[in-house]
Structure 1
């Protein structure tokens, strides 16, 4: 079983030195014959701070950070507190540059100045969308020109589009995606329809905001195909919101070809909260880097986004500085990050298929459209008829069964008979065990056998 195989690899406790490492090209993966293979018990030790009474099959929401990286973070924090002036003048910027250099290599960017480190993908979205808003305010875009985004875009990104683009005079068109999804062709067809609608009445599509992995419901979007379509259709800028990208799916800027791409480093890349990267393509004839600014204006304003982001006032920058230690942790696993991604994908699909077979339901999309998360149909008899029902069931699983898993409500379509309207989004990360998913299975089976429905659960 892929899940069992994954648990035979772990790490010893590495932490950063008191000096800033040199910015040599990072080792992105290690062959199994040369790396230090780590055991199941060492993996469990790295995540022993997790609540062991909880089956945590929700890595997707908040990620996970191993003890060795937490130790590294504490060292950076102590270095600052020990001598803040020395840290600020001699260590902070070189340390962040080293982290950016590692990210640059991991994502196959051309230049390190294409990579900025920010708090999270929401911050990155604000940076990109503010740029679009300025284009409307300053007359480079016409009122009524269009931004296209997916219907399943993350809630805070939708609100950012409303706050910046709509208020500046842009019109937003949402791509209505099917769920469950049968194939990537369904998504591509819907995306083309939205672009055509955006060009009606002589308007132009100025911005496309495309998820790489949607959050709820979770589906891997055919990002390369959609970016290619945007280029063919003359969309000015393509922003890929990949909050779940790095460590979960393939992230290669040359293959994907976006103008902007953001991904959290704390969800699937083992950083502590909170750090993400924002890639901004630097190329001839593009102004992508020139008019991007951090929403918090500090005395670095005007020195380029990467430098602006490296100092936004006195705060804890340690999450941005531990990227080298995270890479050391990852490279203790066979195949490095690529090996972890592959094993997580295989394990979560295996567990998802086990659950839908148990409950007589189905997955939310084909296995090839899953990353390290998969949507699992829940028994119809649970009576999940609203978002409120979904939240009540999630709370009930946490409080009474020790299972942490998000629940999604899908409104039934006209004419459906006994449709599956409730789905669980299960994740798999290196610390997960098969028993976590059995615990979830048994909890749902107990609720069903007791005749409990969501209508019976407290608000």
Structure 2
């Protein structure tokens, strides 16, 4: 790529997806990155846009914050809204998915007897947010739904509906379900639209943690699927600079979001509010670095240059399916989802490690795995323990190839043997 201006770059033919695209990222050439799902990987053209915008801001901070910034923000919101099938004033930008979900959960008017539903696979920070709400008066009850893989979409939908029936609301009380669209660990797609529909039928509020969806899940249409609330990170799969996320609140529910977090300059007491001020509340919540939010437009331009969402995700999806099989063959184990029902751009493969029975065992092995992978072997794919087995979650991104899966597979073989020998586990 060299020093070619990114706007000029987009007038040229893009390289094929795969190995040649690594030149468009600042990745260490020796590092095998199969963990895009955790933090995202920002392409050079977007980083250049971030740096250019930073220079613009610092040249005249007052001009930027008081005049230039608002229309730029509105343009990005409009583009994001179009991508996810929503109205512009139904979406705002927040720092990350955890922040967006906390905005939603902490704006509910909780009462004694209310219930919050989470899953055993809910992202830790979000399950802890629910727990923290239950730990303070009026102490809504947190119920956890067991979810183990492998399973099927049908079984998940059925068990979810059954659990809601078994935990009815008390008179005049509310129930709120936190539903993953794509679970973080294991990295699997849930039938979240069906779960949202069931929640609606059962009178349960649906709060969708879609941290991994935007940029990985093609054809999102929130107007049609109609969740009550939906949040997704832009820096994981959409190629934006971390950290930035989109919070979707449909017009019908905006009266419930009485304040942003932190409370911003546009706050109006609910008793004095005549119409929704959801978007203005999130326009300005203090002097923060807005470059990650505003250069989402440049991330979208970059993805359009590569060929658009369908082309990008077809490549990553096919690579995840093929790469998972390659990895399982090398490890002599299995893919968690052999039929691909749950797989988008992340694939989960069993690791040849013995099971654990205590948190202490997990912590000890977890630390050694991270150190060996990242420091000794300069490679990483996420690892986790689920349903009695160790697994790795590999994220297939546009710069990855089957060779990356082959390389990390042989690294995992060495690492697992070293862990078993050094920690004396069998």
Whether TM-score is above 0.5 comes out as yes
Deviates more, 1:49-58 or 1:363-372: 363-372
The reply to whether residue 351 of structure 1 matches residue 320 of structure 2 is no
Q: Tell me, which stretches of 5 or more residues in structure 2 are unaligned?
A: 269-275
Of 247, 255, 260 in structure 1, the residue corresponding to residue 215 of structure 2 is: 247
The reply to whether residue 114 of structure 1 matches residue 96 of structure 2 is no
- Distance in 1, Cα, partners of 2:19 & 2:413: 30
The reply to whether residue 404 of structure 1 matches residue 372 of structure 2 is no
Of 325, 333, 341 in structure 2, the residue corresponding to residue 361 of structure 1 is: 333
Structure 2 CA distance for partners of 1:392 and 1:297, relative to 1, 3 Å = same
What is the deviation of 1:166?
Answer: 4.7
Asked if the contact 2:46/2:298 (under 8 Å) is kept, the reply is yes
Asked if the contact 2:260/2:281 (under 8 Å) is kept, the reply is yes
- Distance in 1, Cα, partners of 2:97 & 2:416: 38
Residue matched to 1:8: none
- Distance in 2, Cα, partners of 1:155 & 1:449: 29
- Distance in 2, Cα, partners of 1:297 & 1:64: 31
Residue matched to 1:314: 287
The reply to whether residue 425 of structure 1 matches residue 367 of structure 2 is no
What is the deviation of 1:187?
Answer: 1.2
The reply to whether residue 45 of structure 1 matches residue 27 of structure 2 is no
TM-score of the superposition, structure 1-length normalised?
0.82
What is the deviation of 1:212?
Answer: 0.5
Q: Secondary structure at the match of 2:6?
A: coil
Deviates more, 1:51-60 or 1:293-302: 293-302
Asked if the contact 1:15/1:69 (under 8 Å) is kept, the reply is no
Of 37, 40, 48 in structure 2, the residue corresponding to residue 71 of structure 1 is: 48
Asked if the contact 2:169/2:175 (under 8 Å) is kept, the reply is no
What is the deviation of 1:224?
Answer: 1.0
Residue matched to 1:56: 33
Residue matched to 1:97: 74
Asked if the contact 1:63/1:266 (under 8 Å) is kept, the reply is yes
Task: Give a deviation string over 1:396-425, Cα, whole Å, max 9, x none.
Answer: 22222222121111353xxxxxxxx11001
The reply to whether residue 299 of structure 1 matches residue 275 of structure 2 is no
Of 400, 405, 409 in structure 2, the residue corresponding to residue 441 of structure 1 is: 409
Q: Tell me, which stretches of 5 or more residues in structure 1 are unaligned?
A: 1-11, 17-29, 137-141, 413-420
Asked if the contact 1:378/1:422 (under 8 Å) is kept, the reply is yes
Residue matched to 2:6: 14
Asked if the contact 2:383/2:390 (under 8 Å) is kept, the reply is yes
Question: Considering only aligned residues, what root-mean-square deviation do their CA atoms show, in Å?
Answer: 2.5
